[in-house]
Amino acid sequence: MPRLSNIYRLGVKELWSLWRDPGLLLLIVYTFTAALYIAATAAPEGLHRAAIAIVDEDDSALSARIVTAFYPPQFAPPARITPAEVDATLDAGTYTFVLDIPPDFQRDVLAGRGPQVQLAVDATRMSQAFTGSGWIQQIVLGEVGEFLQRYRGSAASPVEVTVRQRFNQALDPTWFGSISELANNITMLSIILTGAALIREREHGTVEHLLVMPVTPTEIMLSKVWAMGLIVMLATLVSLTVVIKGALGVRIEGSLGLFLCCAALHLFATTSMGIFMATLARSMPQFGLLLMLTLIPLELLSGAITPRESMPDAVRYLMSLAPTTHFVSLSQAILFRGAGFAIAWPSMLALAAIGSVLFGLSLARFRKTIVQMV
């Protein structure tokens, strides 16, 4: 049986080794502060001051209504350009949208002729192009409808649909982005720290020192798991309180203690995964390449970026065996929806089972590596 004193002392050694590595310390601080804040705020899903220009060839009261219907924060104040400038400004990327109102537009609308308005879109700005096209169509059709009715307002409907936004009433994309980025960063740092700890010992020759000590491979692995897991847990707690709740203003609905328990189970799995990958790699560059091949599928297919419901059944089943899938689900359920233990325990049990399997595989591989070194 592993001795707790050996596990504790070896873990303290790992903490001191990390303290003497300024590169990894800087990576931890940056990942859980600036990188998280930038990822949550740099690329919002909605429109924000989208660049739009309007070619008003009608110069009527209706076209003036349409021009004044675009304003911040969704759109930047529209610029007035001529038809000859459309292609040049789109090629230069000056505007994302160019709306062309044809001559005699108001007269044709009043006569019921169904005139056409052309909307040119720079589709290289994919997110704004997709969302903004729908907004512009609604704005133009709404202004035309109100102009024909001679008053602002919509016709009475026999059915009233009441929409209530739960968990994110303002539909602020930074709320979702910050929690998703936190889950991804926890996975990434836990794998990097444990893998780097093992490879660093191999490169410095300290693994041979451990082999002559009265310690077992299980004790060595457990020491790395608890030490690196503790660092990530502390960084997660600071990031939640200072960056997510403080700087971004995200309201945490659920129990912070329950989330940290789930994070501990997830770290047990991912730190074991990091040790397994470190036994496969011969150097840090090889470990970095292997990390890229592992992290990208884990992040893209875990549900943190793309909803799992839109994935093929085979991918959904395969990713149900990955710890990140269950951790992302738990993070969103606890921090967004205030879920308690009664809802979280199936995913927590799955994390514990996956972590045990990964720890067993990593331990077997680690023992084999030690035998080869001897």
CATH of the domain at 61: 3.40.1710.10
Check whether 204 has a pLDDT greater than 80: no
Q: Which residue has the higher pLDDT, 157 or 334?
A: 334
Band of the pLDDT at 157, cuts 50, 70, 90? low
- Buried/exposed code over 161-176 (b: 16+ C-beta within 10 A; e: otherwise): eeeeeeeeeeebbbbb
- Mean pLDDT throughout 221-239? 93
Check whether 156 has a pLDDT greater than 70: no
- Render pLDDT for 36-69 as a digit per residue (tens, 0 to 9): 998 888 755 567 788 999 999 999 999 999 999 9
Q: Specify the pLDDT at position 284.
A: 87
- Mean pLDDT throughout 306-330? 88
Band of the pLDDT at 2, cuts 50, 70, 90? low
In this structure, the answer to whether residues 38 and 61 fall within a common structural domain is no
Check whether 373 has a pLDDT greater than 60: no
Q: For the chain, how many structural domains are there in total? A: 2
Check whether 153 has a pLDDT greater than 60: no
Residue 161 in any domain: the answer is no
Q: Specify the pLDDT at position 252.
A: 86
In this structure, the answer to whether residues 121 and 193 fall within a common structural domain is no
HEC states along the chain?
CCCHHHHHHHHHHHHHHHHCCHHHHHHHHHHHCHHHHHHHHCCCCCCCCECEEEEECCCCHHHHHHHCCCCCCCECCCEECCHHHHHHHHHHCCCCEEEEECCCHHHHHHCCCCCCCEEEECCCCHHHHHHHHHHHHHHHHHHHHHHHHCCCCCCCCCCCCCCCCCCCCCCCHHHHHHHHHHHHHHHHHHHHHHHHHHHHHHHHCHHHHHHCCCCCHHHHHHHHHHHHHHHHHHHHHHHHHHHHHHHCCCCCCCCHHHHHHHHHHHHHHHHHHHHHHHHHCCCHHHHHHHHHHHHHHHHHCCCCCCCHHHCCHHHHHHHCCCHHHHHHHHHHHHHCCCCCHHHHHHHHHHHHHHHHHHHHHHHHHHHHHHHHHC
In this structure, the answer to whether residues 16 and 95 fall within a common structural domain is no
In this structure, the answer to whether residues 78 and 17 fall within a common structural domain is no
In this structure, the answer to whether residues 226 and 332 fall within a common structural domain is yes
Q: Specify the pLDDT at position 118.
A: 93
Residue 47 in any domain: the answer is no
Band of the pLDDT at 341, cuts 50, 70, 90? very high
In this structure, the answer to whether residues 77 and 188 fall within a common structural domain is no
In this structure, the answer to whether residues 182 and 119 fall within a common structural domain is no
Residue 162 in any domain: the answer is no
In this structure, the answer to whether residues 314 and 176 fall within a common structural domain is yes
In this structure, the answer to whether residues 130 and 185 fall within a common structural domain is no
- Mean pLDDT throughout 166-180? 78
Percent of the chain with pLDDT over 90: 46
Residue 141 in any domain: the answer is yes
Check whether 112 has a pLDDT greater than 90: no
In this structure, the answer to whether residues 341 and 237 fall within a common structural domain is yes
Q: Which of 190-194, 332-336, 337-341 has the highest mean pLDDT?
A: 190-194
Mean pLDDT of the chain: 87
- Mean pLDDT throughout 65-87? 91
* Least confident segment among 63-72, 168-177, 262-271, 292-301: 168-177
- Mean pLDDT throughout 356-372? 86
Residue 159 in any domain: the answer is no
- Mean pLDDT throughout 253-278? 92
Query: Which residue from 207, 204, 182, 228 is spatially nearest to 24, judged by alpha carbons?
Result: 228
Q: Specify the pLDDT at position 68.
A: 92
Residue 97 in any domain: the answer is yes
Q: Answer with the one of 83, 115, 149 that is the final residue of a domain.
A: 149
In this structure, the answer to whether residues 33 and 58 fall within a common structural domain is no
In this structure, the answer to whether residues 287 and 364 fall within a common structural domain is yes
- Mean pLDDT throughout 25-40? 90
Q: Specify the pLDDT at position 371.
A: 65
Which residue range forms the structural domain that includes residue 87?
Answer: 52-149
Q: Specify the pLDDT at position 160.
A: 77
